[in-house]
Amino acid sequence: MADSEFTNKVAIVTGAGNGIGYEICRALAARGASVLLNDLDPALAKEAAGKIVSAGGVCHAFPGDAGNPDFVEKMLVEAVTRYGAIDIAVANAGITTYGSFLEYTVEKFQSLIGLNLQGSFFLAQGAARRMKDQGTGGRILFMSSVTGHQSHPHLVPYGMTKAALRMLAKGLVGELSQYGITVNAISPGAVGTERTIGDDPDFKESWSGATPNGRIATPGDIADAVLFLASDKARHVTGQTLQVDGGWTCTSPVPNLKIPD
């Protein structure tokens, strides 16, 4: 690989069979990292890791439910067994569940919390324990969202989980800084992914009009922010949330959206 910025670094990225997570894996592997790529869908995970390996990267698929703490622990064991350490943990997996507050069900709520919060929390905990023992610091990243900054129709419970991740990043600073571990979050605005464009053919047009710089993000826009926060260049940055949203949170207009069921 041409760029070796992350050579000898080991990364885990959850929910990475496509979309933002895949691009984060691809970008890290292209810069020398060894990457454990997780997705709930085994075929998707295998295909995604295969593409990265074909391009010359070091990447292994580890499919399973990133919301399940027992599975998360197995994933961490696999990373350390296979690659010798864990240096970068990106809690990217998250479900976007739409629904009005008055109609929201317990089942929907629990699956949302189970992945977005429980999965992210225990990935961070398990990774931090290893990073502390390794004694070489580390990088933990949470995937928040602009919906965790501003109110967004039909996404209130989702936005609540994303706001909580920002607070988790802040809160962990007090416990993990002494070990050289930084903890940050990224808040993407509207990003064009297989899911967002697939769910709503007007997604790109609607959100481009509502975004001050006139376009939606690419997964690469988000991966670039991850590359910075995961790198040595961000060694003095911790407890922060980086909004990668083309300026959306400065004005926050919400377009008329086709709300998936």
Ligand X SMILES: NC(=O)c1ccc[n+]([C@@H]2O[C@H](COP(=O)([O-])OP(=O)(O)OC[C@H]3O[C@@H](n4cnc5c(N)ncnc54)[C@H](O)[C@@H]3O)[C@@H](O)[C@H]2O)c1
**Active-site residues: which are they?**
145, 158, 162
Q: How many residues bind ligand X (CB under 6 A)?
A: 30
In angstroms, give the least distance from the CB of 44 to ligand X. 5
Query: Which residues make beta-bridge pairs with 183?
Result: 140
* Residue from 188, 206, 234, 238 binding ligand X (CB under 6 A): 188
Closer residue to ligand X (CB): 132 or 195: 195
Residues 143-182 contacting ligand X, CB under 6 A: 143, 145
* Residue from 6, 10, 13, 15 binding ligand X (CB under 6 A): 15
Tell whether residue 246 is a contact of ligand X (CB under 6 A).
no
Binding mask 54-73 for ligand X (x = CB under 6 A): -----------xxx------
Strand order across the beta sheet in which 181-188 lies: 58-61, 34-37, 10-13, 88-91, 138-143, 181-188, 241-244
Closer residue to ligand X (CB): 181 or 191: 191
In angstroms, give the least distance from the CB of 63 to ligand X. 8
Tell whether residue 21 is a contact of ligand X (CB under 6 A).
yes
Tell whether residue 126 is a contact of ligand X (CB under 6 A).
no
Binding mask 192-221 for ligand X (x = CB under 6 A): -xxxx-------------------------
The residues that touch ligand X, with contacts defined as CB under 6 A, are 14-15, 17-21, 38-41, 44, 65-67, 92-96, 115, 143, 145, 188, 190-191, 193-196
